[in-house]
């Protein structure tokens, strides 16, 4: 596509997948590629990643869908990681994954040594903030650089337009109060190492100011009735700035959230998919749809902001909500596991479902959404029930046609 004599390629939309179920779901909801954690060597210890057999299964399935898979090996390694990752890389080298994501130069060298045929993407954790750094990594053989989240759109465009290396940026999800996530709060306060994937999110805790000679007196810094949370960053949300992102020229847009729910990754992915497709279908006639932000507000999130894309926002980049709580107005009730007839679907229950309740059905596209009242819920024995519990598979009469992977939600 060419706009104002500058050619723009449609960016790849990359979604997180903490397990195989989420992986298949985000593809159904419009992702072009997924990124998953490699066991023990990624920055999400709470989501340990896919096993090697699971990566093999996922890669085969994704390639059959003409989609891609990227494996995150982006820890800052200690010596014991280096010895442990060698046999892992030898086995990973046998799987035709599309790239590995690394941040540590040592891990980078091991990938080049053991699996030189696997493309390497440089993690945002490497905090690449200038063109010369991108040139350096290009000379080392890096195919794509995931730029630091501290960059502005202008800086991103300058880097991308003057480099032959692909660039990628995060467009949605949690932000870190520390430079490119290099935080020591968790290590000091909870003995959990953020750069080894075990962050305790100490920045989301509530803090007060104390004076050395008055240990029993505390002073709030910025406060409401819930306390103070000066270190807690707003979540990134760029849905209102699709044209600006396109004009930056990056090869790929990434959604954060390997530890988020299946509902979260599906709901966010489909919104960016629709916005991106609409822009490239008619860039000159493109109009932002307020419904997109409304949909993104239906997932659990902190206050939204634009990160550093439009410059340092200072205190405006920090949330005014309690550090450990999210804005959560909707409950994810379940996912359609099978369609048995035109009006009966089998639902895998994720949260308690009550009969005679008004719910929303979320389709793979926003145009497929509808609202209905649950008048007829049956268990696996086709017996009518009033309440469905987590883990159950129940039969629900639907008021409109549905498909597998559609989801049920309810305003809390």
Residue 257 and residue 400 in one domain: no
Residue 146 and residue 71 in one domain: yes
The pLDDT assigned to 328 comes to: 82
Is 184 inside any structural domain?
no
Residue 298 and residue 338 in one domain: no
The pLDDT assigned to 376 comes to: 86
* Residue where one domain finishes, among candidates 252, 285, 317: 317
* Residue where one domain finishes, among candidates 291, 317, 343: 317
Residue 110 and residue 43 in one domain: yes
Is 396 inside any structural domain?
yes
Is 173 inside any structural domain?
yes
Residue 94 and residue 26 in one domain: yes
Q: What residues contact residue 224 under an 8 Å CB cut-off, 6+ apart?
A: 320
The pLDDT assigned to 221 comes to: 58
Is 27 inside any structural domain?
yes
The pLDDT assigned to 84 comes to: 85
The pLDDT assigned to 338 comes to: 95
The pLDDT assigned to 302 comes to: 83
Is 193 inside any structural domain?
no
pLDDT along the chain (412 residues), means of 10: 61 95 96 89 64 96 98 88 89 97 95 97 93 97 95 96 96 72 58 58 66 73 51 85 96 92 96 97 95 95 87 61 67 95 93 94 97 92 93 95 96 82
The pLDDT assigned to 193 comes to: 57
Residue 152 and residue 254 in one domain: yes
Is 267 inside any structural domain?
yes
Residue 303 and residue 351 in one domain: no
Residue pair 120/141 in contact by the 8 Å Cβ criterion = yes
Range of the domain at 91: 2-178+232-317
3-state SS record for the chain = CEECCEECCCCEEEEECCCHHHHHHHHHCCCCEEEEEECCCCCCCCCCCECHHHHHHHHHHHHHCCCEEEEECCCCCCHHHHHHHHHHHHHHCCCCCCEEEECCHHHHHHHHHHCCCCCEEECHHHCCCCHHHHHHHHHHCCCEEECCCCCCHHHHHHHHHCCCCEEEEEEEECCCCCHHHCCCHHHHHHCCCHHHCCCCCHHHCCCCEEECCEEEEEECCCCECCECCCCCECEEECHHHHHHHHHCCCCEEEECCCCCCHHHHHHHHHHHHHHHHHHHHCCCCCCCCHHHHHHHCCCCECCEECCCCCCCCHHHHECCCCCCCCECCEEEEEEEEEECCCCEEEEEECCCEECCCEEEEECCCHHHCEEEECCCEECCCCCECCEECCCCEEEEECCCCCCCCCEEEEEC
The pLDDT assigned to 5 comes to: 40
The pLDDT assigned to 6 comes to: 43
Is 305 inside any structural domain?
yes
The pLDDT assigned to 155 comes to: 96
CATH number for the domain spanning 404: value is 2.40.30.10
358-362 and 407-411 strand pairing? antiparallel
CATH number for the domain spanning 130: value is 3.20.20.70
* Residue where one domain finishes, among candidates 292, 317, 342: 317
Q: Name the domain count of the chain.
A: 2
Residue 273 and residue 399 in one domain: no
Residue 133 and residue 102 in one domain: yes
Is 218 inside any structural domain?
no
Residue 23 and residue 149 in one domain: yes
Residue 309 and residue 334 in one domain: no
**What are the start-end ranges of the H helices in 224-261?**
242-247
Residue pair 39/52 in contact by the 8 Å Cβ criterion = yes
Residue 298 and residue 344 in one domain: no
């Amino acid at each position: 596509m060419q706009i104002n004599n500058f050619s723009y390629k449609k960016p790849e939309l990359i979604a997180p997948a903490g397990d195989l179920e989420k992986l298949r779901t985000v593809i159904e909801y419009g992702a072009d590629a997924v990124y998953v954690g490699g066991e023990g060597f990624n920055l999400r210890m709470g989501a340990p990643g896919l096993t090697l057999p699971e990566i093999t299964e996922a890669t085969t399935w994704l390639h059959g869908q003409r989609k891609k898979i990227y494996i995150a090996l982006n820890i800052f390694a200690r010596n014991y990681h280096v010895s442990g990752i060698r046999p892992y890389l030898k086995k990973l080298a046998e799987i035709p994954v599309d790239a590995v994501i690394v941040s540590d130069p040592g891990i980078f060298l091991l990938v080049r040594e053991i699996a030189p045929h696997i493309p390497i993407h440089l993690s945002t954790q490497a905090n690449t903030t200038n063109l010369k750094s991108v040139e350096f990594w290009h000379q080392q053989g890096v195919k794509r650089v995931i730029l630091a989240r501290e960059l502005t759109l202008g800086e991103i465009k300058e880097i991308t337009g003057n480099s032959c290396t692909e660039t990628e940026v995060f467009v949605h999800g949690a932000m870190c109060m520390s430079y490119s996530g290099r935080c020591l709060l968790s290590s000091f306060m909870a003995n959990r190492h953020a750069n080894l994937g075990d962050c305790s999110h100490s920045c989301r805790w509530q803090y007060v100011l104390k004076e050395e000679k008055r240990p029993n007196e505390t002073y709030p810094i910025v406060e409401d009735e819930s306390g103070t949370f000066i270190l807690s960053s707003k979540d990134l949300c760029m849905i209102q700035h699709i044209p600006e992102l396109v004009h930056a020229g990056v090869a790929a847009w990434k959604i954060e959230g390997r530890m988020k729910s299946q509902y979260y990754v599906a709901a966010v992915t489909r919104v960016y998919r629709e916005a991106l497709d609409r822009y490239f279908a008619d860039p000159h006639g493109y109009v932002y749809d307020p419904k997109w932000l409304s949909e993104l507000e239906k997932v659990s999130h902190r206050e939204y902001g634009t990160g550093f894309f439009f410059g340092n926002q200072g205190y405006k980049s920090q949330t005014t909500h309690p550090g450990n709580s999210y804005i959560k107005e909707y409950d994810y009730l379940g996912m359609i596991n099978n369609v048995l007839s035109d009006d009966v679907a089998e639902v895998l229950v994720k949260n308690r479902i009550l009969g005679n309740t008004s719910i929303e059905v979320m389709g793979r596209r926003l145009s497929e959404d509808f609202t209905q009242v649950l008048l007829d819920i049956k268990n696996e024995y086709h017996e009518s029930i009033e309440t469905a519990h987590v883990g159950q598979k129940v039969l629900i009469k639907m008021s409109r046609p549905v498909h597998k992977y559609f989801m049920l939600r309810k305003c809390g």
